[in-house]
């Protein structure tokens, strides 16, 4: 057996348990530092009409909702609305990739913030069976929003296919009995070694080690078939008749994936910038989101109604998160950062000079909130800074490799800390 002090030096406390977790189940530590979120739920849509969306009359600590945003009111104490951020040309016009990457058509090594966060978590030793999920959208349209290594990624559009990809094998260990016993013995031996190591550490190092010990307890429970009471894989969904209805099912699948400890990062896309057919009674007569609601209607009441419907889906996702307990206490909502982001700011004029975001969720205490809701006028600052807030909320503080290296490199202090 390796000397404990040499073991600590060679491996480091931050990665102390990760080899064992990878060996056992591919699961990761559940603990997160105070003030940081454990889960990222990215809600992604087309741009909108800024004049109709803007919460006019709002102050920094009190939201005055527009008709479009009024259905978000139940989340007011955990709500931060941000507008008037500039993409600096990276999110202008159709298919511009800057919404989530911070880089335009000519950018190199584009990576969307969801993928960057997933990589950051993995580098920190937080390993899940699925590093990230991208769901929803419109499969028939050209994809241009999600990127990894400068290659565009396509969401899983079918809820049935998504269910199969996410929940296959959930509900019990598939390991042979002998292998399962060997895994348990490995855990028991590791427990003893960590207990001895803890006695040799100072207070700060012991606190870090305790976080990893908590993850060992989680693995032990999983090997015994206990998921902590939070994992309830949903039934296989029926295929809906339109893409937006499918995206509501994808939200449910993503949240259940959090509860089952399958992923920490999930993005669900509603619609597509080139268009999506919408047939929802609350919206009005059926039509095309882009051609009709954005560019055809005057006044744009169907766009207003669609935005209100989207707000309702965002609130419904928050309520689902609130209803599910999280390992270690609280609810999934308490530990999740919810972000509503867009492919462009001003869909009417097809430009990214007025990008807007909705931040919500408990986010582990990261968000700067107020009982009346928080409103932030970005004043033309870079929208890349808001994307960096997403990474910071998830515990990432090194943004090398993300976005424009010559652009803004710090998160907005007004969103969180």
Give me the helix-helix angle, 243-259 and 159-167, nearest 10°. 10
In this structure, the dihedral spanned by the alpha carbons of residues 330, 332, 335 and 341, taken in order and rounded to 10 degrees, is: -150
Tell me what pLDDT residue 25 has.
38
Residues forming beta bridges with residue 374, ordered by sequence position: 80
Give the C-alpha separation, 121 to 126, whole Å.
5
Give the C-alpha separation, 408 to 384, whole Å.
6
pTM score: 0.82
Give the C-alpha separation, 390 to 355, whole Å.
15
DSSP 8-state assignment for residue 71: G
Tell me what pLDDT residue 319 has.
98
C-alpha distances out from residue 292 to 136, 300, 342, 343, 355, Å: 21, 9, 19, 18, 22
Give the C-alpha separation, 45 to 376, whole Å.
20
Give the C-alpha separation, 314 to 311, whole Å.
5
Residue 228's SS3 state is: coil
Given the DSSP bridges, would you call strands 151-153 and 265-269 parallel, antiparallel or unpaired?
unpaired
Tell me what pLDDT residue 304 has.
98
Total number of residues shown for the chain? 417
Which residues, at least 6 apart from 192, have a Cβ–Cβ distance to it below 8 Å? none
Reading the chain (417 residues) residue by residue, the pLDDT tens digits are 334 333 333 333 223 333 333 333 344 444 555 569 999 999 999 999 999 999 999 999 999 999 999 999 999 999 999 999 999 999 998 889 999 999 998 888 999 999 999 999 999 999 999 999 999 999 999 899 999 999 999 999 999 999 999 998 675 444 455 545 655 666 566 667 767 777 777 775 665 565 555 545 544 544 454 444 457 788 999 999 899 999 999 999 999 999 998 999 999 999 999 889 999 999 999 999 999 999 999 999 999 999 999 999 999 999 999 999 987 789 999 999 999 999 999 999 999 999 999 999 999 999 999 999 999 999 999 999 999 999 999 999 999 999 999 999 999 999 998
Cβ-count burial 62-95 (b if 16+ within 10 Å, e if not): ebebbebbebbeebbebbbbbbbbbbbebbbeeb
Which residues, at least 6 apart from 49, have a Cβ–Cβ distance to it below 8 Å? 294, 300, 303, 346, 347, 348
Neighbours of 329 (CB within 10 A): 8
Given the DSSP bridges, would you call strands 133-136 and 265-269 parallel, antiparallel or unpaired?
parallel
| CB neighbour class for 58 (10 Å; exposed up to 12, middle 13-18, buried from 19) | buried
Tell me what pLDDT residue 283 has.
98
State both tokens at 172: 């019990």
Which single residue is written with the structure tokens 């009441």?
301
């Amino acid at each position: 057996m390796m000397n404990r002090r040499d073991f600590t030096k060679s491996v480091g406390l931050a990665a102390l348990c990760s080899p064992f977790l990878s060996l056992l189940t591919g699961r990761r530590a559940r603990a997160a530092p105070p003030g940081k979120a454990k889960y990222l739920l990215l809600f992604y849509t087309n741009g909108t009409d800024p004049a109709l969306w803007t919460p006019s009359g709002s102050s920094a600590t009190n939201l005055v909702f527009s008709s479009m945003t009024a259905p978000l009111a139940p989340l007011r104490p955990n709500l931060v609305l941000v507008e008037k951020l500039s993409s600096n040309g990276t999110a202008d016009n159709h298919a511009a990739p800057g919404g989530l990457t911070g880089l335009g058509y000519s950018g190199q090594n584009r990576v969307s913030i969801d993928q960057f966060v997933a990589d950051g978590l993995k580098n920190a030793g937080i390993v899940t069976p699925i590093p990230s999920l991208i769901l929803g959208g419109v499969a028939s349209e050209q994809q241009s929003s999600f990127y990894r290594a400068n290659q565009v990624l396509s969401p899983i559009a079918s809820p049935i296919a998504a269910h199969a990809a996410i929940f296959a094998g959930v509900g019990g260990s598939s390991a042979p009995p002998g292998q399962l016993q060997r895994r348990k013995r490995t855990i028991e031996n590791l427990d003893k070694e960590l207990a001895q190591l803890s006695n040799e550490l100072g207070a700060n190092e012991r606190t870090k080690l305790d976080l990893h010990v908590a993850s060992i307890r989680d693995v032990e429970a999983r090997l015994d078939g206990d998921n902590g009471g939070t994992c309830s894989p949903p039934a296989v969904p029926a295929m809906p008749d339109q893409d937006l209805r499918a995206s509501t099912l994808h939200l449910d699948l993503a949240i259940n994936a959090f509860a089952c400890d399958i992923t920490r990062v999930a993005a669900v896309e509603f619609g597509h910038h080139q268009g999506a057919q919408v047939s929802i009674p609350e919206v009005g007569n059926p039509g095309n989101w882009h051609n009709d609601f954005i560019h055809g209607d005057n006044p744009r009441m169907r766009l207003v109604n669609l935005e209100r419907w989207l707000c309702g889906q965002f609130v419904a996702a928050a309520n689902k998160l609130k209803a599910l307990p999280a390992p270690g206490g609280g609810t999934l909502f308490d530990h999740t950062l919810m972000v509503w982001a867009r492919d462009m700011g001003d869909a009417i004029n097809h430009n990214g000079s007025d990008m807007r975001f909705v931040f919500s969720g408990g986010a582990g205490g990261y968000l700067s909130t107020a009982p009346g809701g928080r409103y932030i006028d970005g004043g033309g600052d870079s929208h890349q800074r808001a994307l960096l807030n997403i990474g910071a909320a998830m515990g990432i503080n090194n943004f090398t490799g993300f976005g424009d290296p010559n652009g803004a490199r710090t998160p907005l202090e007004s969103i969180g800390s």
